[in-house]
Structure 1
Amino acid sequence: MLEKYGSADDLRLTDVPDPKVAPGEVLIRVKAAGVNPVDWKVAAGYLDPIMEVGFPLIPGWDVAGVVEAVGLDVPEYQVGDEVFGYVRKDWVQQGAYAELVAAPVRSVARKPAALSWEEAAGVPLAGLTAYQSVQRAGVRAGETVLVHAASGGVGAFAVQILVDLGARVIGTASERNHEFLRGLGAEPVTYGDGLEDRVRELAPQGVDAALDFVGGGVVDLSQALLKQRERMVSIADQAAVEQGGHSLWVRPDPEDLAELARLADAGKLKVNVERTFPLAEAADAWRLNQEGRTRGKIVLTV
């Protein structure tokens, strides 16, 4: 937890009272918690202009665990159910980096049986971001989709979701990640200068949709390749909206989570957990995440 806005150096492992379980919530005994860039960005105060943050702050939105107790009017779950979720409430304070977290039922779904606790904890935020981006772009079978940062945490999920839909995927990545993308079913291209020409070699008529998971000016390039300007979705650049496309901020959605679980249980959604840390070493997990060089998910075990 943190007593005020700060960095990994300010994280402390300490005891706090068990969270209260409000009506419409379940209390989850945490088995694993996913680490995402937004965790340390919230802690640093970067999202203060748009989000209410309370202190002391327990970070973390991604969780996998077992229902310990249920609040009033929760017919969906009972004690002992295995769940996973993107536990983002209306304010940020009592997060998933803990032994127990209270989660609204709108933020959780039943854990996919095919995934370990660590794998399941790596899915919610990134998986929902990918799934909702694909839905927002209106992708259909047979279409060609350009995915920027396709080997990243969100991009790798998007590639697998698109392949399951029957779409053709062209994914940008560094050369060291090309074989990884081929294994997911994408056609890799190296990002950087000349990217538009490299994409046109694969898709001379352009692409049907583009998903931006990296920012850094790829919206202009994508619009030059798109057949329809509104088929652009970005999670990193508001320029997408200015140019007729969409900006997406992931939302908790139990039906979307259940669809991700279905894909995982069907063997169509793999989760690459690059490294796990015990909860007491959350600061080290943040430092590794901040380097931005990991291909798979970073997960805390509780």
Structure 2
Amino acid sequence: MPISIRKVVISEFGDVSKVNVEQSSIDPPKPGEVQVAPIFSGFSGADINMRRGLYPMQKKAPLTPGYCLAGRARTDGTHIRVGDLVACITVYDAEAELINVPEKYLIRVPNGVSPEAATALVLDWATAYGMVERAKVTHGQRVFIHGVSGAVGYATMKLCQLRGAVVYGTASERNHQVLRDQGAIPFVYTNKDWIKTMQELGGVHAVFDALGGESWEESYSILPPCSGGKEQGLLVAYGQNQSALSDTDASGGAVKPVAKLLFKNAKLFSNRSTCFFYVTRDQASFVPTVNTLFGMVRDGKIDVVIKNIWDMEDIKTAHQSWASSSGLGSNLIRISKE
């Protein structure tokens, strides 16, 4: 029989008035699925873009957002048992009291890793880890991160620092001191001083840029000079969150900017290259990455910092304040209390 639940619903695309908590129901899990009670759902630019109808290839409204979760299994699977703490990427539907998830996507969370940390690790940190691996960041390199105080930005900073890199980045000025305390060298994005400074240093070995559009062009310009330079530089683009952060129009879509970005790789004999990075739950590297991160938490190598936790009932506040809150780290929606 269907079970009564509450969940977040984006009724139609638009402003925060279109996102509400509603009463609904959920059917029993199908064969191969496990029913999970989320404790936390991740909250990111994907939620903002989905609410605005701008997320690439997204479902039509009405829909329930929630890209990832950590929660308790409520039914048995083949390997998952009732009560197991699990984490996964869902893309949709994690902002609900219950969700049916294909068991193959559930990753058991080990003892010593909290539900809060697991939620951040399964998407924010997994994305950061994959990007740092892709850029082959090594000791002594210079890296530049846009939105270094944000969820993925913070994780990327800490993983780069673990490898001995020097981290520069852009962030709101209200977060600069805490970033300096963390060993980063922050800049304000808007005055563009960071461009000249990085170029005068000879460029950076890797740029991680979640903004998109014009920012990707600027980030490309701070890679090592093309002429006479032996150092290689890589622009790792992801997210395309500029419109979500500034509440501007992004009706041009995501395909053209990414194509333009990747076309730069057609330049012969260039020491600059670009890539567009994203994480999916079907990637062969995904589960090993998450388990590696779980191990790093247990070993004390990384500390998963949470910036904000909003209750599901405060979902409008989460949408309104996502881009303006102070602090470092990941944002979560609390779905239930253990």
Residue matched to 1:268 = 301
Matched, 1:283 2:316: yes
- The CA distance in 1 between the partners of 2:326 and 2:81, in whole Å, is 40
- Preserved contact between residue 69 and residue 87 of structure 2 (Cα < 8 Å): yes
Aligned partner (choices 91, 115, 131) of residue 117 of structure 1: 115
Residue matched to 1:61 = 67
More divergent stretch after superposition (146-155 vs 118-127): 118-127
- Preserved contact between residue 210 and residue 222 of structure 1 (Cα < 8 Å): yes
- Preserved contact between residue 151 and residue 180 of structure 1 (Cα < 8 Å): no
* Count of matched residue positions in the alignment of Structure 1 and Structure 2: 290
What displacement does 1:254 show? 1.9
Aligned partner (choices 212, 215, 218) of residue 215 of structure 1: 212
| Structure 1: gaps spanning 5 or more residues | none
What displacement does 1:233 show? 0.7
Matched, 1:169 2:177: no
Residue matched to 1:39 = 47
Counterpart code for 2:194: L
- Preserved contact between residue 129 and residue 289 of structure 2 (Cα < 8 Å): yes
After TM superposition, the structure 1 = structure 2 runs for residues 215-254 of structure 1, keeping only pairs within 5 Å, are 215=212, 217-227=214-224, 231-235=234-238, 236=240, 238=258, 239-244=260-265, 245-252=274-281, 253-254=286-287
- The CA distance in 2 between the partners of 1:278 and 1:34, in whole Å, is 12
More divergent stretch after superposition (208-217 vs 158-167): 208-217
- Which string of whole-angstrom CA distances, capped at 9 and with x for unpartnered residues, describes residues 219-268 of structure 1? 33333332467621111352432322111233222222222222222233
SS for the counterpart of 1:26 is strand
Residue matched to 1:84 = 87
More divergent stretch after superposition (130-139 vs 12-21): 12-21
Identity of aligned residues (%): 27
Residue matched to 1:131 = 129
**RMSD over aligned Cα atoms:** 2.8
Residues 1:11 and 1:134: Cα distance change in structure 2 (over 3 Å): same
- Preserved contact between residue 152 and residue 330 of structure 2 (Cα < 8 Å): no
**Which protein is bigger by CA-based radius of gyration?**
2
- The CA distance in 1 between the partners of 2:41 and 2:14, in whole Å, is 20
- The CA distance in 1 between the partners of 2:27 and 2:41, in whole Å, is 17
What displacement does 1:212 show? 0.9
Residues 1:197 and 1:114: Cα distance change in structure 2 (over 3 Å): farther
Q: TM-score, normalising length from structure 2?
A: 0.75
- The CA distance in 2 between the partners of 1:103 and 1:5, in whole Å, is 25
Residue matched to 1:205 = 202
- Preserved contact between residue 75 and residue 81 of structure 2 (Cα < 8 Å): yes
- Preserved contact between residue 205 and residue 233 of structure 2 (Cα < 8 Å): no
Counterpart code for 1:260: L
- The CA distance in 1 between the partners of 2:129 and 2:64, in whole Å, is 27
- Which string of whole-angstrom CA distances, capped at 9 and with x for unpartnered residues, describes residues 120-169 of structure 1? 33343322222222222232344322222211221001011112233332
More divergent stretch after superposition (20-29 vs 57-66): 20-29
- The CA distance in 2 between the partners of 1:251 and 1:126, in whole Å, is 12
- Preserved contact between residue 29 and residue 99 of structure 1 (Cα < 8 Å): yes
Aligned partner (choices 145, 157, 160) of residue 159 of structure 1: 157
Residues 1:222 and 1:112: Cα distance change in structure 2 (over 3 Å): farther
